[in-house]
Amino acid sequence: MERLSLMVLTKRMIADVVVLAVLVGGYTLVHVITDMSVSASRVTGQYFSVAWIIMMALVASLRAVVGLRIASARRLAQLGIIEWFMLAVVANLLLAGLDVWWHPEYNLKTVLAFGLFPVILPSVITSTIVYFLVSRMTAK
pLDDT tens, residue by residue, 42-95? 877 788 889 899 999 999 999 999 988 887 666 666 788 999 999 999 999 999
The whole-model pTM stands at: 0.87
74-102 helix and 108-115 helix, angle to the nearest 10 degrees: 120
Burial annotation 78-107 (CB, 10 A radius, 16+ → b, else e) = eebbebbbebbeebbeebbeebbeeeeeee
Helices (H), 37-120: 38-70, 74-102, 108-115
pLDDT average, residue stretch 123-132: 96
Q: Which of 67, 54, 19 is nearest to 127 (CA)?
A: 54
Q: Reduce the DSSP state of residue 16 to 3 states and report it.
A: helix
* Domain membership of residue 42 as a residue range: 2-138
The 10s digit of each residue's pLDDT in 64-78 is: 999 888 876 666 667
**Other beta carbons within 10 Å of 69:** 11
pLDDT at residue 25 above 90?
yes
Averaged confidence pLDDT in the chain: 87
In total, how many domains does the chain have?
1
How far is the C-alpha of 52 from the C-alpha of 123, rounded, in Å? Answer: 7
How much of the chain exceeds pLDDT 90, in percent? 46
Q: Which amino acid is at 30?
A: V
